[in-house]
Amino acid sequence: MASNSKQTSSSIASLAGKTLRSSNASQAAKTIAGSALAQAGSARQTGAAVETTASKALRSPNASATTRSLAGSVVSQSNRKR
């Protein structure tokens, strides 16, 4: 896996932590939040499966603003060759 020069910001990492602790968050939101948190302070890239989940969340009219924010961060850290 190639190195990633982008990292999750502290505000998105905080939002991801709150999402993971929330009992109301969907499984997709928690998956995306977990990926965003894993990329905070590291050179990790978004995996293909999470990238697909995040992309679907961005296109969904039912996704919350929180999920869209997390998804945008995760997609921006994905492998550009995919």
- Please tell me the number of Cα atoms within 13 Å of 58 on its side-chain side: 15
Closest residue by Cα to residue 46 from 68, 18, 74, 70 = 74
Residue 51, strand partner residues: none
Give 73's pLDDT tier (boundaries 50, 70, 90). very high
Greatest C-alpha distance within the chain = 35
Q: CA–CA distance from 26 to each of 13, 53, 57, 67, 68 (Å)?
A: 17, 12, 11, 9, 12
Q: What mean pLDDT do residues 1-24 have?
A: 86
> Is residue 77 predicted with pLDDT exceeding 80?
yes
SS3 46: strand
2 or 65, which is more confident? 65
pTM: 0.86
Q: What mean pLDDT do residues 47-76 have?
A: 95
